[in-house]
Amino acid sequence: MTKNPPAWPVQQRGRASLWGTLRNFVDSLANSSPARLALFVYAGVVMVFTALLSLPASATSGEVTPLHDAFFTAVSAVCVTGLTVVSTAEHWTGFGQTVILLGIFIGGLGTLTLASLLTLAVSKRLGVRGKLIAQSALSNASRLGEVGTLLRIVITTSVVIEAALALAMIPRFIVLGEPFGQAIWHGVFYSISAFNNAGFTPHSDGLVPYENDGWILTPLMVGVFLGSLGFPVVMVLMERGWRYRNWNLHTKLTVEVSLILVVVGALGWGAMEWGNPDTLGGMSIPEKLVNALFASIMTRSGGFNLVDMNAMEPSSMLFTDALMFAGGGSASTAGGIKVTTIAVMFLAIIAEARGDSDVKVHGRTIPPGAMRVAISVIVAGATFVAVGSGLLLAMTGASLDRVLFEVISAFATVGLSTNVSAEAPPEGKYVLAALMFAGRLGTITLASALALRERRQLFHYPEERPILG
């Protein structure tokens, strides 16, 4: 008599079938549309963290956090923005803050890196097209076989830099009288938030108690600046040292434009706010200089602030809008349209003014395809900002300068706020969340997708130049 087979092999086959289906789905996305895979990955991560933050255990009240607040916070963390609608220190429990911190770390790795890691985890391999996408994100992988190794280096580099920043701040928190465990928590939280350009703070009053404390402010500025350079630049600096002529073109342009923006930002912001009694007016000259430098670095994506954004002069607010929109380096934890995009466009303008047919810099010619990508990123960014501002104006009734500031901060994943996020109705929070998601995912994915979408043309139409300008 034949016995019935046990149930577990059937269950095991079912699990294997589900895993095989998932693997085939990820493989097909990675090889046909890596940009779509990045979209699915980031959306999935946001949903998971929204569910975790909605748990009663995440809120100090022991109640379920409203969906729009949990979703907004999850998007802000995963998209390393830092905009908040509830107090991070007062609303969230230790578990909730840990969820936020984990979201910041995962989100800081970047959309294409996360997509590549998921492909490796599920399929145990990267397809050729998936490797090309990952290679374009990391930019210094000379061979496709190096991509897997570089993905591991990205994670290791993040952990090492964040650990160094934490070790620099923990002793200061202890000296200031915090218990040992709390000092460690605050050091780790600030280090991860700084390197990933997130701007979340575990203190209810933010950085105000440390506005003149160089021991705290310096590691934060260093962490934010390193994070804004991007993993490709950091890895080039690690491999080739600080000898300028050994750097590749991307590293040179990123470092040059970043330093220019830091200097111009500090001088401009400091000059505009020098006599403002609500910001820098009552400080000593050294304090004003430190605050101006801090503001310049943070406005390009860091999100930490020492002054009330609503108290700034209108000219300073507009200047800050421009810095936020510029952002940091490509494949970095910073947002914005990226400094290399700005560099390419300015170089194209200079070449056009000189009458040069090629756009050249540092002994290299920038291909026309790169300029098309730069134009696409800028136009897409401006469109997101315009549409988002229109919607927020209709929903909140706030003034244009405050709304524009909040919208650019959300799209550029900066995190500086005029408090429009907290005041907005639920539908306004969803609009800002969409802007954060688009800012973190959209321009990077658009640039990568366009870079690999060139197709052969069998014929060319006759050229005709329209009147421009």
Pairwise CA distance, residues 274 & 296, whole Å: 14
Any domain includes 416? yes
Question: What are the tens digits of pLDDT across the range 7-54?
Answer: 545 455 545 565 555 556 555 555 555 566 677 778 888 999 999 999
Looking at residue 466, what is its pLDDT?
86
Higher pLDDT residue, 64 or 152?
64
Looking at residue 86, what is its pLDDT?
95
Q: What is the DSSP letter of 461?
A: P
Q: Which residues of 21-43 are buried (b: 16+ CB within 10 A; e: fewer)?
A: eeeeebbebbbeebbebbbebbe
Share of the chain above pLDDT 70, in %: 80
Looking at residue 155, what is its pLDDT?
80
Question: What are the tens digits of pLDDT across the range 410-447?
Answer: 999 999 999 999 999 999 999 999 999 989 886 556 55
Any domain includes 347? yes
Question: What are the tens digits of pLDDT across the range 156-202?
Answer: 888 999 999 999 999 999 999 999 999 999 999 999 999 999 999 99
Any domain includes 7? no
3-state secondary structure (DSSP) of residue 163: helix
Any domain includes 463? no
Question: What are the tens digits of pLDDT across the range 362-382?
Answer: 999 999 888 888 888 899 899
Any domain includes 3? no
Any domain includes 469? no
Cα–Cα distance list, 436 to 10, 14, 94, 414, 442 (Å) = 44, 38, 25, 9, 10
| Residue 86 domain boundaries | 13-451
Pairwise CA distance, residues 244 & 262, whole Å: 19
Task: Please state the rounded mean pLDDT for residues 133-143.
Answer: 49
Question: What are the tens digits of pLDDT across the range 313-338?
Answer: 999 999 999 999 999 988 788 889 99
Looking at residue 62, what is its pLDDT?
95
Q: What is the mean pLDDT of the chain?
A: 84
> Is pLDDT above 80 for 140?
no
Looking at residue 426, what is its pLDDT?
96
Any domain includes 209? yes
Cα–Cα distance list, 401 to 393, 405, 421 (Å) = 10, 6, 14
- Total tally of structural domains belonging to the chain: 1
> Is pLDDT above 90 for 454?
no
Question: Residue 298 burial (CB < 10 Å; 0-12/13-18/19+)?
Answer: buried
Any domain includes 112? yes
Question: What are the tens digits of pLDDT across the range 379-390?
Answer: 989 999 999 999
- 332, 229 contact by CB (below 8 A): yes
> Is pLDDT above 60 for 216?
yes
| Phi, psi angle pair for 364, to nearest 5° | -130, 150
Res. 460 pLDDT band, cuts 50 70 90: confident
> Is pLDDT above 70 for 453?
no
How many Cβ atoms from other residues are within 10 Å of residue 74's Cβ?
25
Task: Please state the rounded mean pLDDT for residues 454-469.
Answer: 74
Question: Shortest CA distance to 404 belongs to which of 296, 331, 288, 319?
Answer: 319
